[in-house]
Amino acid sequence: MTRWMRWNPAFQGFFFVRPLPPRANLSHNAPMTQDNTLQIKLRLKGGSGPNANWHWEILDAAGKVVKSGSAVGPEHKAFATARIAKEKLEQSSGR
């Protein structure tokens, strides 16, 4: 067994753990290309997994709710629904 191998009892097998090289830069310092004045707030209202009920709100810079809605399903699908609504708002307002 090498120093990069670890025993995982949950999987009944080995998995490899390798540290990141020192040159790996994990900080993201890229400049923002858009003015992100609208923010998405996502809240779980009930359920879990594919039956989860999510409530999303799109907030402006002042924290006022511009649009809200709900979606049923996994978190990434609910966020995609809110992101599409945000993009439509940005297009309609010419931001």
Does 26 reside within a domain? no
For residue range 49-85, list pLDDT tens digits in order. Answer: 888 899 999 999 888 999 999 999 998 899 999 999 9
Q: Residues 34-61: what's their mean pLDDT?
A: 85
Does 86 reside within a domain? yes
Q: Cα–Cα distance between 86 and 83 in angstroms, integer?
A: 5
Does 23 reside within a domain? no
Give me the domain span that covers residue 76: 37-95
What residues does 69 pair with on adjacent strands? Answer: 56
Domain count, the chain: 1
Q: Residues 10-35: what's their mean pLDDT?
A: 55
Share of the chain above pLDDT 70, in %: 61
Does 82 reside within a domain? yes
Does 12 reside within a domain? no
Does 11 reside within a domain? no
3-state secondary structure of 85: helix
